[in-house]
């Protein structure tokens, strides 16, 4: 993977392959944020945990994403519609807690992942600006713990050097980071707490029942509880979850290092930015002053032949100053999209737990998911059930039906973004 993150990652922990049969209190499938953070939370509660990763820690979207740690689990209006007033309030509080967990992990475990506070929600049109202003007022009313600032068109040059937007909201609590280094640092912390982590150990079969287990080519983990944390990379491994999360391609490019003056011109506050379209653009500066620019440029299941050729025109529309800038890296990954665009939590057979479907905003939700999974397994389902009680739609027919359905749905959203 020609990823900027893999090229600049710190030393990765070297975990062995699973060989033979082992037992644990909890076995976890998936070495991304959800699995690793569930492991940390469970180990801190005194449980014996084994985590299996098919490739390397952070290989999936946890190590490929845009690096934007944004508060919240989903839009407030969406939460209110599906969870009701009390559920939406509790989900809002969990979104704040999730961001605190990210920041606490970085500080508490001393993880070097280039954390920078500051996120700008950019409005492309006046309708979006009005919606952001209302949301900003609501968050102030709910006691948001960090500073939120409404930015008018007149004040935009102090935040972003682009004429593509009409204003937005600046959030000092959210921020951006090196996502792969965060995941690697958390895995190292989990191992330090006694979690047994095995890489290059793909799960071939999930055994349900009173004594569930995860089967790999060279071994088996038997446990009292299983956690399924593969999200869009499960590929049908758990039939009960097939069709509930739709795979969508998300892609990024990284420019050559920019001069200090050019970087300051583009993003004077060094904040992360995303627009408010459903098919959004998002971008930020790296610690070595590259512009990392991403967007969902493909929903058909086929990887673009030329990621840079697809994203460069979008980048240059936002920043004409970057015409001719060299693109050094291009990469992508698969995002698990929930049809309701709210994370999915659930339990199968009383001992097989899962969390998935973060719909492109995975850093914060995945961290809080790890905590809720640990709470539920250790006997407190009160917060887990805020989401587990929500009925999610499933598309029949697997990818043969889901992929064209997703492409059709995204075409509809693209039309809405143009209005």
377 has pLDDT over 90:
yes
Report how far apart, in Å, the C-alpha atoms of 96 and of each of 135, 174, 209 are.
15, 10, 36
Q: Is the pLDDT of residue 13 over 80?
A: yes
DSSP, residue by residue, 26-84:
EEEE--SHHHHHHHHHHHHTT--EEEE-SSSTT-SGGGTS--EE-S-SS-HHHHHHHHH
**What does the pLDDT average to over 38-66?**
97
pLDDT of residue 400: 55
Distance (Å, whole) CA 230 – CA 32 = 8
Given a cut of 80, is residue 401 above it in pLDDT? Answer: no
Among 69-78, 80-89, 131-140, 201-210, the range of highest mean pLDDT: 201-210
Cα separation, 223 vs 308, whole angstroms: 45
CB 377 within 8 A of CB 370: no
Encode pLDDT of 98-126 as tens digits: 999 999 999 999 999 999 999 999 999 99
With a cut of 90, say whether residue 410 has pLDDT above it: no
C-alpha to C-alpha distance for 344 and 310, rounded to whole angstroms = 31
Cα separation of 291 and 285, whole Å?
5
pLDDT tens digits for 355-371? 999 987 889 999 999 99
pLDDT given at position 294: 95
The answer for residues whose C-beta is within 8 angstroms of residue 213's C-beta and 6 or more apart is 27, 206, 207, 220, 221, 222, 223, 226
| pLDDT tens figures, 197-248 | 999 999 999 999 999 999 999 999 999 999 999 998 998 899 999 888 888 8
| Nearest C-alpha neighbor of 66 from the set 186, 229, 178 | 178
Whether residue 416 has pLDDT greater than 90 = no
What domains, with CATH codes, occur in the chain? 4-65+180-243+342-394 (3.50.50.60)
Q: What sign for the dihedral angle of Cα 334, 124, 263, 271?
A: negative
Kindly tell me if the per-residue pLDDT of 418 is higher than 60: no
Asked if pLDDT for residue 403 goes beyond 70, the answer is no
pLDDT for 265? 98
């Amino acid at each position: 993977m020609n990823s900027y993150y893999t090229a600049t990652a710190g030393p990765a922990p070297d975990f062995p392959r699973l060989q033979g049969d082992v037992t644990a209190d909890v076995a976890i499938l998936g070495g991304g944020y959800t699995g690793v953070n569930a492991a940390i939370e469970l180990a801190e509660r005194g449980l014996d945990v084994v985590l299996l990763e098919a490739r390397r820690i952070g290989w999936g979207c946890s190590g490929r994403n845009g690096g934007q740690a944004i508060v919240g689990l989903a839009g407030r209006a969406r939460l209110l519609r599906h969870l009701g007033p009390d559920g939406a309030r509790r989900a809002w509080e969990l979104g704040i807690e999730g961001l605190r967990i990210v920041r606490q992990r970085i500080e508490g475990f001393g993880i070097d992942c280039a954390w920078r506070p500051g996120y700008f929600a950019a409005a492309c049109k006046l309708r979006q600006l009005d919606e952001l202003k209302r949301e900003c007022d609501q968050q102030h009313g709910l006691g948001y713990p960090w500073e939120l600032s409404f930015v008018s068109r007149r004040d935009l040059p102090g935040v972003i050097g682009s004429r593509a937007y009409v204003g937005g909201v600046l959030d000092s609590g959210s921020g951006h980071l090196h996502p792969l280094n965060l995941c690697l640092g958390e895995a190292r912390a989990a191992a330090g707490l006694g979690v047994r982590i095995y890489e290059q150990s793909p799960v071939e079969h999930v055994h349900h029942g009173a004594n569930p287990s995860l089967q790999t080519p060279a071994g088996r983990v038997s446990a009292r509880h299983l956690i399924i944390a593969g999200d869009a990379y499960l590929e049908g491994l758990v039939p009960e979850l097939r069709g509930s999360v739709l795979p969508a391609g998300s892609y990024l490019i990284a420019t050559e290092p920019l001069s200090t003056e050019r970087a300051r011109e583009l993003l004077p506050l060094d904040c992360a930015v995303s627009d408010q379209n459903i098919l959004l653009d998002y971008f930020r500066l790296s610690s070595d002053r590259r512009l990392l620019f991403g967007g969902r440029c493909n929903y058909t299941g086929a990887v673009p032949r030329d990621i840079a050729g697809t994203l460069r025109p979008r980048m240059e529309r936002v920043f004409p100053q970057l015409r001719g800038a060299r693109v050094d890296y291009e990469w992508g990954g698969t995002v698990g999209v929930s049809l309701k665009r709210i994370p999915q939590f659930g339990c199968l057979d009383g001992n097989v737990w899962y969390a998935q479907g973060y719909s492109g905003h995975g850093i914060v939700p995945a961290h809080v998911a790890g905590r809720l999974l640990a709470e539920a397994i250790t006997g407190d389902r009160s917060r887990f059930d805020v989401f587990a009680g929500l009925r999610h739609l499933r598309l029949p027919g697997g990818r043969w039906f889901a992929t064209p359905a997703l492409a059709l749905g995204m075409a509809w959203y693209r039309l809405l973004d143009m209005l």
